[in-house]
């Protein structure tokens, strides 16, 4: 492996750890309020967990605040979320727009399942499908999946999986610390504006 890439990966992991610890400490009071709000609106459970595919195709338990009604996919199985999705609770709409439903993944980052920036982790059901139908899809598993990423800040929920893959592969090829900082800053702006659930382009943020 290229020595510079080894250095960049080491810096990336150090940044992940510092970011996760700082984020967890800062978010704890808000997490308590979110948990109470979920209980008040729709009861247990507070969290939603499922299996996601991580680095080298290894699965891990993915953590997030529950933003949909209970047993949302019991009858349908895994399906993509869509605009005006009736399964999303009122609080869930706020959490998803600001990405606060994803904030418990700071624990996944600290554990080493994820990185702050990288290809977004996908559910096993969809990965198995895409591996059969989308060329080079497995290549996106060369790095830890991210809380945010190049595809997330440039795309939308309904962006074609092949287009998202191109963003992911570009990121894996060119990633560096300054690109990660750039994408994190853009992600904070999108969260502040509540723009993560928009089905139109949020912002053009490919490279600094």
**What residue segments make up the domains of the chain, in order of their start?**
3-192
- DSSP reduced 3-state for 149: coil
- DSSP reduced 3-state for 115: strand
C-alpha span between 47 and 24 (Å, rounded)? 16
C-alpha span between 183 and 117 (Å, rounded)? 8
Q: What pLDDT is recorded for position 171?
A: 97
pTM: 0.92
Contact 164, 122 (CB under 8 A): no
Closest by Cα among 171, 208, 196, 164 to 12: 171
What's phi and psi for 59, nearest 5 deg? -85, 155
Q: What pLDDT is recorded for position 24?
A: 98
C-alpha span between 12 and 111 (Å, rounded)? 14
C-alpha span between 149 and 164 (Å, rounded)? 10
Residues of the chain with pLDDT under 70: 74-76, 80, 82-83, 198-208
Contact 95, 67 (CB under 8 A): yes
Q: What pLDDT is recorded for position 196?
A: 87
């Amino acid at each position: 492996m290229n020595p510079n890439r080894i250095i960049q990966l080491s810096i990336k992991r150090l940044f992940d750890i510092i970011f996760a610890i700082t984020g967890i400490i800062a978010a704890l009071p808000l997490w308590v309020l979110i948990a109470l709000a979920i209980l008040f609106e729709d009861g247990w459970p507070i969290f939603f967990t499922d299996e996601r595919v991580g680095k080298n195709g290894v699965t891990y338990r993915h953590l997030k605040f529950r933003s949909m009604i209970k047993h949302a996919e019991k009858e349908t199985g895994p399906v993509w979320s869509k605009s005006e999705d009736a399964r999303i609770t009122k609080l869930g709409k706020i959490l998803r727009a600001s990405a606060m439903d994803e904030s418990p993944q700071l624990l996944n980052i600290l554990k080493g399942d994820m990185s702050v920036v990288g290809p977004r982790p996908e559910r096993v059901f969809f990965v198995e499908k895409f591996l059969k139908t989308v060329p080079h899809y497995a290549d996106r598993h060369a790095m830890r999946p991210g809380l945010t990423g190049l595809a997330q800040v440039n795309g939308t929920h309904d962006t074609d999986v092949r287009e998202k893959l191109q963003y992911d592969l570009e990121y894996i090829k060119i990633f560096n610390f300054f690109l990660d900082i750039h994408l994190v800053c853009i992600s904070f702006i999108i969260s502040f504006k509540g723009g993560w659930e928009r089905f139109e382009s949020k912002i053009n943020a490919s490279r600094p």
